[in-house]
């Protein structure tokens, strides 16, 4: 196996967390390829082309989708699907007439049929599908809003940008067909919801935390523990609150470089302990509320008690700050920046691979990726 395939470089997280969409423009309500259209797919390929943009989302180890464009200036976003764990990809559909296909701020499937996507600077174009990505219908978002977060396929919240005018928030319970204004938020910040009722609001400066249990009508301040004396390092934190599968909440307090976890909806908190000699909280990926993976150099650690204790699982592969999306105890995937460790030099540009594991992270395989032409 080549050195390139042993290494996992520059992981770009996909996680779900805060997402963006904005002002609706009048376009046709449905976007699909003609029945006879043939998708221009150059593949199978081990990595994307130099100018290609791509996002992935997997429902389970076999079923996934990719949103890809030939370049950031493309007006068409292709949607591909796989049913064999990215060994092969087939046409699902496309969205046409976009001013830009970059960035894809939202790309989420809730089941085999229903998904959402928001595309463009500050999420100008927002769409949903009810047929597995074959057709996409634009849905409205309130005027001047720039961020979307979903609790499920029907319940979402949109917020206006931070700025001189205090941030406003809106909620929908019918997938964006109608929106209602929410009461004034206590602070400007990022919203994330684990259910139609339960949500979190983190201060834009990560100095305050609030919780709601009624969908955002009322917010209560949350008191976090004082700073830890053994805090790790934190970098590139855009969303300081993460809701884990199973309901636990992880909060990164960027002001004191500490991470906390609550297993009871914020009633009690404790520090997250890192594995031995690991100092970066971003090295942790969460399988569920209790089971986590942490990568550091050539070491893979795992915990079954939400970070109270850690066990060294492997020290055989150069993980290089890998932070994958974990599907279950054995399966995970990651979009990683491809490299060429030969004497001929490096691959040019932002070229991406899709790597997966089916043995709990012990070994990783570079899968195929769709490459539109």
Contacts 24+ apart (CB under 8 A), 157-160: 157/182, 157/191, 157/193, 157/199, 157/216, 158/21, 159/191
Of residues 351 and 305, which shows the higher confidence score? Answer: 305
The reported pTM is: 0.80
Residue 254: its pLDDT value, please? 58
Q: Quote the CA–CA distance of 153 and 174 in Å, as a whole number.
A: 8
Instruction: Give me the number of domains the chain comprises.
Output: 1
Does 105 map to a domain?
A: no
Flag whether 14 is in a domain: no
Q: Is the pLDDT of residue 64 over 70?
A: yes
Please, are residues 311 and 299 in contact by the beta-carbon 8 Å criterion? no
Is residue 283 assigned to a domain?
Answer: yes
Residue 273 falls inside a structural domain: yes
Q: What is the mean pLDDT of residues 331-348?
A: 66
Question: What is residue 372's predicted lDDT score, i.e. its pLDDT?
Answer: 84
Both tokens of 242, joined, read: 């993460």
- Within a domain: 117: no
Domain that holds residue 238: 223-323
Residue 57 within any structural domain of the chain = no
Question: pLDDT by residue (tens digit) across 90-104?
Answer: 989 999 888 776 778
Average pLDDT for 252-266: 77
CA atoms in the 13 A half-sphere facing the CB of 353: 23
Evaluate whether residue 304 is within a structural domain: yes
- When pLDDT is averaged across residues 244-248 and rounded to a whole number, the result is 85
- At 129, the pLDDT band (50, 70, 90 cuts) reads very high
Q: Is the pLDDT of residue 356 over 70?
A: yes
Q: Which helix (H) or strand (E) holds 63?
A: none
Rounded-to-integer distance, Cα 251 and Cα 261, Å: 6
Maximum mean pLDDT: which of 24-38, 194-208, 289-303: 289-303
**What would the two tokens of residue 370 be?**
């769709």
For the segment 213-228, the average pLDDT, to the nearest whole number, is 85
Is residue 136 scored above 70 in pLDDT? yes
* CATH number for the domain that contains residue 265: 2.40.10
- Is 263 part of any domain? yes
Q: Two tokens at 30?
A: 């449905």
Calculate mean pLDDT across residues 121-143: 86
């Amino acid at each position: 196996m080549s050195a390139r395939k042993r290494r996992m470089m520059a992981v770009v997280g996909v996680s779900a967390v805060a997402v963006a969409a904005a002002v609706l423009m009048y376009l046709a309500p449905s976007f699909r390829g003609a029945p006879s259209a043939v998708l221009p797919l150059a593949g199978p390929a081990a990595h994307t082309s130099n100018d290609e943009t791509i996002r992935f989302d997997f429902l389970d180890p076999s079923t996934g989708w990719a949103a890809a464009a030939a370049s950031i200036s493309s007006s068409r976003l292709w949607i591909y699907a796989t049913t064999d764990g990215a060994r092969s990809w087939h046409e699902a559909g496309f969205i046409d007439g976009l001013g830009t296909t970059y960035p894809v701020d939202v790309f989420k499937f809730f089941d085999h049929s229903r998904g959402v996507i928001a595309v463009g600077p500050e999420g100008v174009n927002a769409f949903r599908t009810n047929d597995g990505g074959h057709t996409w219908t634009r849905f409205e978002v309130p005027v001047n809003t720039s961020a979307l977060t979903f609790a499920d396929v029907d319940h979402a919240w949109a917020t206006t940008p931070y700025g001189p005018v205090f941030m406003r928030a809106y909620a929908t319970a019918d997938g964006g067909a109608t929106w209602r204004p929410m009461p004034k938020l206590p602070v400007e910040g990022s919203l994330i919801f684990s259910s139609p009722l339960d949500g979190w609001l983190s201060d834009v400066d990560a100095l305050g935390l609030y919780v709601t249990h009624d969908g955002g009508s009322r917010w209560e301040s949350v008191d976090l523990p004082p700073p830890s004396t053994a805090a790790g390092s934190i970098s590139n934190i855009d969303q300081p609150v993460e809701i884990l599968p199973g309901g636990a909440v992880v909060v990164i307090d960027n002001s004191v470089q500490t991470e906390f976890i609550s297993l009871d909806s914020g009633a009690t908190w404790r520090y997250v302990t890192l594995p031995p000699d690991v100092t970066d909280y971003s090295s942790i990926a969460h399988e569920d509320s209790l089971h986590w993976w942490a990568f550091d150099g050539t070491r893979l650690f795992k915990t079954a008690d939400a970070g109270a204790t850690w066990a060294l699982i492997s020290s055989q592969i150069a993980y290089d700050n890998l932070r994958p999306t974990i599907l279950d105890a054995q399966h995970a995937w990651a979009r990683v920046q491809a490299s060429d460790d030969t004497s001929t030099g490096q691959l040019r540009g932002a070229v991406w691979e899709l790597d997966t594991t089916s043995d709990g992270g012990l070994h990783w395989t570079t899968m195929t990726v769709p490459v539109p032409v």
